[in-house]
Chain A
């Protein structure tokens, strides 16, 4: 990697930090623009509250301070990597997020690898059998999964595999109370992972499949592919060495987008399958107006997006050496 490239990456990182800073301030105001406040939501759950109680809560959360002061406290804490306390659980936001992060990464990571691998494979198969029945079958299936709402798909999968067939557990990440260790635990988690990862992955599998297929067919008409075929190269070698490699660029772009959503993008799936991840944490925090927690999740998610945008750009130049990382 050249010095120029390293400079480029460093520059991007600095720009990224600036972007994160602006996003943090923007989020701060955006959240407070929503009606309602956390003290009232918490009091509301108790079904009764007097002004004294609400005031106590607001003081405890620091919400009785003027807005500019709250912003100052938030940003100065954030700079020191302190995201504050959650209102509801009374835990440091960072601890809570780290507590829930592994579950989400396991789920979204599995779905990511699964959908990318399967999607590209199926797309290649379809493109190689262009206008044959197998191509049509794949295209129709991809369209169906692309168009089906995630939520409905998840519920149907639960009905089929958990209720009727009884093969797979319907909710949670582990069998509660079984206290498995070692390999048993891995198998147990894997069983719980199948349905949510499938649900989450199918949409992107469909997207990758469609994209790979289109891109492959287009690239397959290019002159250099004709040349490769003409010089007697085996069809498999043409497909993987020449066509696929050139057809992959749009797929990488899309994969970068999906990877950026790995933290916050599984809200629905985590809710339906009671998966103890971050998406759910964020969703619940939103309804409870737990500002600190919500800002914390937003911050980490935006950091991920910034990071993966950079990674995507680096991968571009690995896939296609003609692309250079310079300003």
Chain B
């Protein structure tokens, strides 16, 4: 018996000691090979805010703060910050040893220029939040003060690199930002410096020896490889040419095979800030979708558990309502729309649905979305709703959605940690406008919802905001303006010799400053 216990203890201790060895001191040096998909249009993160740009440029540019996986702000270019009691004056103290990649010092003048001039002109997402900012001033070289017009709940969540990147004033001031030659040779403050971009092949960045954080970065260089075909990306990883497959870069059906390889690690962390939320667009304007009971019937008809397990390999979580469970102010107590075809049929009967077929337009973002549309088509057919599939490419899909020329379609959007940044935009009636597939495309208008979202954005303190968001979630879940599907998770697959790869709430979009490779 004693022997047996000893063996058990040994068995338990063995893997533990392995982990200890692995988690030892980081070693410097090495090359990291990452996939970037698709090839970014540019690396100027202040102008181009799409995912592939940020994935590369997040290593070159930096924001004032970064966010841990619980969305708590951490110092980056700002070493500390404080707000006034009423939440309207925010003071940031900058690090004093920061230089741009060309050797010039980084100061408060760069911050004021970046936010007030550059990003206000170029970044449409930040521009909307800056409406709440009255003035941005620099009392001295290393202090910046943001004066708000009224408290703005999500304000402290705006300082991540992709949302509010710092750009060099001495290069951009007085020039046409969009055509500045520096856009082709980005200059930031980040742990890696831009070296070379072979269009169609790879982007190369090298270690910044003058980085402002002592001892970082660990890696010597990073290559982002452009491999346009999903199956070829899988092969590149299998053959060891690639160390990191960022979430979403291979087809879902390849994930179990790739994670099953020797020395292959997987994590779904690093999406907390974005919390991508998928839903079914339902065009509220036309019969039968204009009837609330029809939309509720769709919710009951969809087998979302099946979609999650069969199409997304079990990754993700069934979405309860408009706010992701990873985003602030999510309400746990919302009623569930469980999979219940009988209830769906009852609702359809009650409304007197006449069997008018509806059009279903899959999202042209790869195989998984196509299959998802087929699964939902079958779910709907089982409760008596017949659908016609509409095929498009990305540009056509954008066009049809922004012209409201659809019945049912798909989308997923980032939430940016706060409902005022990434949730309200899809439901408030001010945001009903043809010409964009990213606003209130479903055409849902409810004065009460408008008012609640409006108040919640500027309510102070957070407990008040929570109360208002609770009400708005309940209203929306009752009305079903869109059919919420899943809180998506895009697992990042990587070689286990890479450590500390995902270090913040923006995952592979953040710098690989603390990442290191076991030698």
Contacts and interface: CB of A to CB of B under 8 A. Distances in A.
Interface of A: 34-37, 40-54, 60, 88-90, 96, 99-100, 103, 155, 158-159, 162-163, 166, 169-174, 176-177, 271-274, 276-277, 280-281, 283-284, 287-289
Given A34-B396, A162-B235, A60 B178 contact: yes
Interface stretch (B121-129, B313-321, B324-332, B468-476): B121-129
Given A37-B399, A170-B241, A176 B394 contact: no
A44 B42 contact: no
B395 A272 contact: no
A170 B235 contact: yes
Interface stretch (B5-13, B218-226, B453-461): B218-226
B135 interface: no
Contacts of B353: none
A284 B52 CA distance: 15
A50 B126 CA distance: 11
Given A50-B127, A170-B241, A172-B201, A40 B231 contact: no
15 contacts: A34-B395, A36-B395, A36-B396, A42-B41, A44-B394, A45-B50, A46-B48, A48-B438, A50-B128, A171-B232, A172-B225, A176-B202, A274-B227, A274-B228, A287-B395
B151 interface: no
Interface in B396-426: 396-400, 402, 413-414, 425
Given A35-B395, A51-B433, 6 more contacts: A52-B127, A158-B235, A162-B235, A176-B225, A274-B227, A284-B38
Contacts of A45: 41, 50-52
Contacts of B236: 170-171, 274
Contact of A289 (B33, B235, B395, B400): B395
B229 interface: yes
A52 B435 CA distance: 11
B436 A276 contact: no
A96 B200 CA distance: 10
Nearest to B123: A53
Given A48-B124, A88-B41, A171-B241, A158 B436 contact: no
Contact of A49 (B124, B178, B232, B399): B124
Could you say which of B178, B201, B238, B400 has the most chain A C-beta atoms within 10 Å of its C-beta? B201
A50 to B, nearest CB: 5
Interface in B33-65: 33, 38-39, 41-42, 48-52
A90 B396 CA distance: 23
A54 B435 contact: yes
Interface string B423-441: 0010000000101111000
Q: Most chain-B CB neighbours within 10 Å: which of A60, A170, A172, A281? A: A172
Tell me the dominant secondary structure on chain B's binding face: mixed
A46 B395 contact: no
B41 A89 contact: yes
A171 B435 contact: no
Contacts of A283: 228
Nearest to B433: A51
A41 B232 contact: no
A276 B393 contact: no
Contacts of B239: 162-163, 166, 170
Interface in B275-316: none
A57 to B, nearest CB: 9
Given A90-B42, A170-B241, A35 B231 contact: no
Contacts of B228: 271, 274, 280, 283-284
B183 interface: yes
Contact of A51 (B49, B50, B393, B436): B436
Given A177-B223, A277-B200, A287 B436 contact: no
Nearest to B395: A36
Contact of A96 (B127, B199, B392, B438): B199
A176 B231 contact: no
Contacts of A272: 229, 231-232
B226 A274 contact: yes
Contact of A50 (B33, B124, B204): B124
B183 A49 contact: no
B31 interface: yes
Contacts of B397: 36
A37 B435 CA distance: 11
Contacts of B20: none
A144 B324 CA distance: 52
Contacts of A171: 225, 227, 232, 235-236, 241
A26 to B, nearest CB: 20
A145 to B, nearest CB: 21
B179 interface: yes
Contacts of B437: 40, 44
A54 B239 CA distance: 42
A40 B398 contact: yes
B17 interface: no
Contacts of B51: 45, 47
A91 to B, nearest CB: 8
Interface in B184-226: 184, 198-202, 204, 221, 223, 225-226
Contacts of A53: 124
Given A49-B436, A51-B433, A100 B200 contact: yes
A45 B52 CA distance: 9
Given A48-B125, A89-B41, A273 B199 contact: no
B200 A44 contact: no
Contacts of A42: 41, 50
Contacts of A88: 41-42
Nearest to A99: B199
> Looking at A46, A174, A287, which has the most chain B CB atoms within 10 Å of its CB?
A46
Given A36-B398, A177-B221, A272-B232, A49 B200 contact: no
A284 B39 contact: yes
A90 B180 CA distance: 10
A292 B454 CA distance: 42
Contacts of A159: 235
Nearest to A57: B178
A46 B41 contact: no
Contacts of A60: 178
Interface string B12-30: 0000000000000000000
The 4 closest A-B pairs by CB, nearest first: A36-B395, A276-B200, A45-B50, A53-B124
B226 A43 contact: no
A90 B50 CA distance: 16
A169 B236 CA distance: 9
Contacts of B436: 40, 43, 49-51, 54
Contacts of A90: 41-42, 178-179, 183-184
B510 to A, nearest CB: 18
A52 B394 contact: no
B41 A41 contact: no
A46 B436 CA distance: 12
Contacts of A284: 38-39, 228
A298 B69 CA distance: 48
Contacts of B199: 89, 96, 99-100, 276
Given A50-B128, A172-B201, A276-B200, A271 B229 contact: yes
